[in-house]
Amino acid sequence: MKRAVRKAVALLLGVLLLASCASCGASSGDGGKKEITYWSFMNEGEPVQKWMQTFIDDYEKETGVKINVVWCGRDVLIKLQSAIASGSSEDLPDIVDQMNTTVLTLQESDGLFCPLDELMKQTKAYGSETPFYDIFDETALNAGRASDGKLYCIPREMYTSAVFYNVKMFEENGVSVPTTWDEFMDVCEQFKALGIAPIAYDGIFEEYIPWWYIRSCERMVGVDTLQAACRGEVAWSSNSRFLEAAQDMQALVDNGYFQENYEGANWPSSQIYWVSGGAAMYYCGTWLPSELAESTPEDYVMDIFSFPAHDDEDAPGVEEVWGNYWAILKDADAELALDFINYSFQKKYDDAKSDMIIPSPLKDGKPAAGLESQSDILANAASTCEIYGDLVQYGDYYSNIFTRNINDLMLGKMTAEEFIGKMDADTANYYK
Partner 1 sequence: MRRLKTIRENRKTRTRLFIFTFLFPAFFLYLVFFIYPAIDAIRISFTDWSGFGTSASFNGLDNYARMLSDEVFWISLGNSFAFMLGGGIIVFALALVFAYLITNYIVHQKFYLNLFYFPNLISFAALTILWVFIFDGTFGVLNSALRAVGLEKFATAWLGSRKTGMGAITLVGAWFYLGFYLILIYSAITKIPDSLFEAAIMDGASNLKIFFKITFPLIWEILMTAVALWIINSLKLFEIVWGMTKGGPSMQTHVMGTYIYFNAFGTYHAFTFRLGYASTLAVALVIVATIAVTAFRRLTARETYEY
Q: Which residues bind partner 1 (CB under 8 A)?
A: 6, 9-10, 13, 16-17, 74-75, 77-78, 81-82, 84-85, 87, 98-99, 101-102, 105-106, 109-110, 112, 200, 203-207, 209, 259-266, 269-270, 272-273, 278, 388, 392, 395-396, 398-400, 403-405, 407-408, 411, 413
Look at strands 279-285 and 154-155 and give their pairing: unpaired
Closest by CA to 157, choosing from 374, 432, 395, is 374
Residue 155 or 308 having the CB closest to partner 1 = 155
- Residue 336 CA to residue 53 CA, distance in Å, equals 18
- Residue 166 CA to residue 420 CA, distance in Å, equals 34
Shortest distance in whole angstroms from residue 86 CB to partner 1: 11
- Residue 264 CA to residue 324 CA, distance in Å, equals 29
Shortest distance in whole angstroms from residue 90 CB to partner 1: 17
Residue 218 or 339 having the CB closest to partner 1 = 218
- For residue 175, the one-letter residue type is V
Burial class (CB in 10 A: 0-12, 13-18, 19+), 87: exposed
Residue 84 or 315 having the CB closest to partner 1 = 84
Shortest distance in whole angstroms from residue 429 CB to partner 1: 9
Shortest distance in whole angstroms from residue 138 CB to partner 1: 25
Residue 347 or 404 having the CB closest to partner 1 = 404
Residue 373 or 407 having the CB closest to partner 1 = 407
Residue 56 or 265 having the CB closest to partner 1 = 265
Residue 77 or 125 having the CB closest to partner 1 = 77
Residue 77 or 153 having the CB closest to partner 1 = 77
Closest by CA to 93, choosing from 41, 43, 50, is 41
- Residue 79 CA to residue 88 CA, distance in Å, equals 13
DSSP H or E segment with residue 250 = helix 240-254
- Residue 24 CA to residue 19 CA, distance in Å, equals 9
Shortest distance in whole angstroms from residue 340 CB to partner 1: 24
Measured from the Cβ of residue 243, the count of other Cβ atoms closer than 10 Å reads 18
Residue 95 or 362 having the CB closest to partner 1 = 95
- Residue 318 CA to residue 269 CA, distance in Å, equals 29
| Maximum CA extent, the chain | 97
Closest by CA to 143, choosing from 133, 158, 130, 128, is 158
Shortest distance in whole angstroms from residue 307 CB to partner 1: 19
Shortest distance in whole angstroms from residue 63 CB to partner 1: 31
Residue 70 or 119 having the CB closest to partner 1 = 70
- Residue 118 CA to residue 115 CA, distance in Å, equals 8
| Residues 362-387 as b or e (16 or more Cβ within 10 Å = b) | beebeebebbebbeebbeebeebbbb
Shortest distance in whole angstroms from residue 336 CB to partner 1: 24
* CA trace torsion 399, 401, 402, 407 (10° rounding): 80
Residue 236 or 398 having the CB closest to partner 1 = 398
200, 189 Cβ separation under 8 angstroms: no
Shortest distance in whole angstroms from residue 105 CB to partner 1: 6
Cα dihedral sign, 224-229-234-240: positive
Shortest distance in whole angstroms from residue 396 CB to partner 1: 5
CA angle 174, 177, 180 (to 5 degrees): 130
For residue 310, give Cα distances in angstroms to 83, 183, 209, 425: 48, 9, 21, 28
Shortest distance in whole angstroms from residue 278 CB to partner 1: 7
